[in-house]
């Protein structure tokens, strides 16, 4: 059974509500100890009650939804029946949470989970058509798009400005960007630094970079990648700390503007974050990128706690 998905936007929530008569919003945060403790129980309930859709809502990145449901602590579980709230639990109470899921399942026995229209066994679930085509082209067998696991509350980009107006820089890695203009470019010189933290411990096989030239910009000519840093690497440290992966004189962008950084899989087995330095050939020109897609295998949540299995009959 697949892992409980993360909600990526208010639009996606509306889609869940429209499709799922039995839906539980699972408000959580990666720093929350009780959230980690109850995570295995929620995964078990997700596996056994297949007519109930459960979706995680990250407290730090989905502030609009958190405000909408007046969430003041995590974990909080909100049960929706045909879009209307019918129950709410605050705290990691295993017995009450089990009863919530069981009751909702019994009330809506014909309810179905959201149809993601996924292809290649869910490898591109939720992605745009262009992103999906790139993932299908470059992802290995069984590997999928991991951008839904990005921890946006800790995402950083240094020396970066949006190509269009006040577009959110985080759109560069969002599975479902809230704008069609996702590009960023280097500000003062040719170097861009991006820190992409993940909610789960993942195995990363490749990183796809999409870029197209805009006026007075250049494509990346050199890319370095580091893993498992707790905060963004400094420009100074990119010269002294060895990267796990490095490419120079980059060429071979495909006709859709994608370039694949094919990583040595053994070096990226337990990844909790990625740092990327992207640099153009001319140090006086702006370097531009439009998308970053992370490909690999999803894993368990960081520091996930353990809790005994439920012994209830289902």
Q: In this structure, what CATH number is given to the domain that contains residue 216?
A: 2.60.120.470
Residue 120 has pLDDT above 60, yes or no: no
142 domain-assigned: yes
Of 32, 37, 89, 118, the active-site residue reads: 32
Task: Please tell me whether residues 91 and 190 are part of one structural domain.
Answer: no
Percent pLDDT > 90 in the chain is: 69
Residue 282 within a domain: yes
Query: Where among 47, 77, 107 does a domain terminate?
Result: 107
Q: Range of 175's domain?
A: 129-297
Among 216, 153, 166, 206, which Cα is nearest to 186's?
216
Q: Does 289 lie in the same domain as 148?
A: yes
Q: How far apart are CA 177 and CA 163, in angstroms?
A: 14
Q: Is residue 210 part of a domain?
A: yes
Instruction: Give 167-192 pLDDT, tens digit per residue.
Output: 889 999 998 887 778 899 999 999 99
Q: Specify whether the CB–CB gap between 292 and 150 falls below 8 A.
A: no
Say if residue 231 is in the same domain as residue 282. Answer: yes
- Pair of tokens at residue 53: 């859709």
Residue 144, domain member (yes or no): yes
From 35, 104, 145, 263, the catalytic residue: 35
Classify burial at 118, counting beta carbons within 10 Å of its beta carbon; exposed 0-12, middle 13-18, buried 19 or more: middle
| Token pair belonging to 94 | 């295993």
| Position 8 pLDDT exceeds 50 | yes
Q: What is the pLDDT of residues 71-109, one digit of tens each?
A: 999 999 999 999 999 999 999 999 999 999 999 999 999
What is the distance in angstroms between the CA of the first residue and the CA of the last residue of the chain? Answer: 17
Buried (b) or exposed (e) across 136-166, using 16+ Cβ within 10 A? eebbeeebbbbbbbbbbbbbbbbbbebbeee
Per-residue pLDDT tens digits for 278-307 = 999 999 999 999 999 999 998 776 654 444
| Domains identified in the chain, total number | 2
* 168 and 38 housed in the same domain: no
Pair (210, 269) in one structural domain: yes
Annotated catalytic residue 35: yes
pLDDT at 250: 95
| This prediction's pTM | 0.66
């Amino acid at each position: 059974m697949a892992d409980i998905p993360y909600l990526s936007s208010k639009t996606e929530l509306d889609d869940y509500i429209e499709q799922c008569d039995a839906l539980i919003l699972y408000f959580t945060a990666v720093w929350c100890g009780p959230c980690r403790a109850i995570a295995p129980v929620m995964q078990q309930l997700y596996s056994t009650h297949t007519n109930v859709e459960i979706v995680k809502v990250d407290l730090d990145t989905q502030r609009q939804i958190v405000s909408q449901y007046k969430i003041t602590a995590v974990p909080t579980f909100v049960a929706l029946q045909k879009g209307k709230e019918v129950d709410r639990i605050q705290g990691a109470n295993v017995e009450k949470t089990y009863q919530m899921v069981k009751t909702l399942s019994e009330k809506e026995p014909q309810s179905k989970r959201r149809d993601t229209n996924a292809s290649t066994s869910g490898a591109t679930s939720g992605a745009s058509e262009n992103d999906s085509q790139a993932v299908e082209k470059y992802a290995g067998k069984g590997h999928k798009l991991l951008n839904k696991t990005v921890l946006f509350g800790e995402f950083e980009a240094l020396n970066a400005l949006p190509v269009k107006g006040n577009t959110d820089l985080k759109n560069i890695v969002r599975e479902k960007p809230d704008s069609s203009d996702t590009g960023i470019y280097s500000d003062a010189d040719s170097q861009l630094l991006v820190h992409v933290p993940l909610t789960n411990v993942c195995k990363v096989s490749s990183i796809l970079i999409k870029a197209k030239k805009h006026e007075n910009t250049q494509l990346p000519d050199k890319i370095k990648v580091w893993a498992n840093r707790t905060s963004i690497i400094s420009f100074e440290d990119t010269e002294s700390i060895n990267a796990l992966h490095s490419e120079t004189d980059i060429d071979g962008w495909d006709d859709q503007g994608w370039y694949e950084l094919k990583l040595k899989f053994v070096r990226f087995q337990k990844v909790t974050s990625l740092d990327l330095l992207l640099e153009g050939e001319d140090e006086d020109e702006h370097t531009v990128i439009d998308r970053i897609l992370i490909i690999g295998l999803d894993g368990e949540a960081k520091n996930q706690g353990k809790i005994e299995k439920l012994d209830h009959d289902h």
